[in-house]
Amino acid sequence: MIAIRIPKKQWGKAWRAMIEIGPVRLVASDPIYEVLPAQLELLNARGFSYQVLKPDHFRKDKQRHAASD
């Protein structure tokens, strides 16, 4: 999956457009979303701006640590 960050001013309209094509998953509180390539094509076609992120940039928020027993 591809991870992107959408500017807050465009978030609502971009999100509504992307869910027309498929699911959008929030993966970090930044907010960072995992999207499909088709959703990126849609964002480009409609003139939305976004930033593509490397997986290691957002996965640090979701790391889990084993609990000691």
Q: What pTM was computed for the model?
A: 0.74
Query: Could you give the strand order of the β-sheet that contains 25-28, starting from the edge strand earlier in sequence?
Result: 25-28, 32-35, 2-5, 51-53
pLDDT value, residue 10: 92
Residue 20 contacts by C-beta under 8 Å, 6 or more apart in sequence? 42
> Where do the domains of the chain lie?
2-61
The average pLDDT across 12-30 equals 91
How would you label 16-31 residue by residue, b for 16+ Cβ within 10 Å and e otherwise?
A: ebbeebeebeebbeee
Instruction: Kindly indicate the confidence band of residue 14, based on its pLDDT and cuts at 50, 70 and 90.
Output: very high
Segment 27-61, tens digit of pLDDT: 887 889 999 999 999 999 999 999 999 876 555 54
32: which strand partners? 28
Amino acid identity of residue 13, one-letter, is: K
